[in-house]
Amino acid sequence: MPLTDDRKKVIRLAGLVVSIVGVVVALRAFMGFIHAVAGNAIEGSPALLRFPEYYRQVGAYYTRGLLTGFFGCYCLMMVAIIVGNWVDEARRNSRAAGATGPLEPSPIPQLAAERIAAGTTARK
């Protein structure tokens, strides 16, 4: 069943809203990660005074930052895909509306070797 234009628009707008909210959430979480690591404000118990526990907690923070970054990139990719498809469809529709007949193919330029073989050296 083909989708109507109104339904496509609603689906695209809903996808954009969800993706943009995802980007905002990911950006906020990522900034929290940056502030925690830059300020050395790693949460933990007094057990972090020993090296293995400290590095486990640091690893957990970097894992959280990595996952947040991937989530942000995924949401940005969704925005790019939705907007790109929307623009492509709008271009296709405007070309279809403006086209009055078949397009004439443009002549293919000759390569220098083909001109030499044909005996003409001047460019056209």
pLDDT, position 5: 80
Residue 76's H or E segment, with its range, is helix 51-98
Please report whether residue 112 resides in a domain.
no
What are the tens digits of pLDDT across the range 28-66? 998 988 888 788 777 776 666 777 777 888 888 888 889
**DSSP code of residue 19:** H
pLDDT, position 25: 94
Please report whether residue 118 resides in a domain.
no
Please report whether residue 123 resides in a domain.
no
Q: Which domain holds residue 92?
A: 5-98
pLDDT, position 49: 72
Provide the number of structural domains found in the chain.
1
What are the tens digits of pLDDT across the range 87-102? 998 888 888 877 655 5
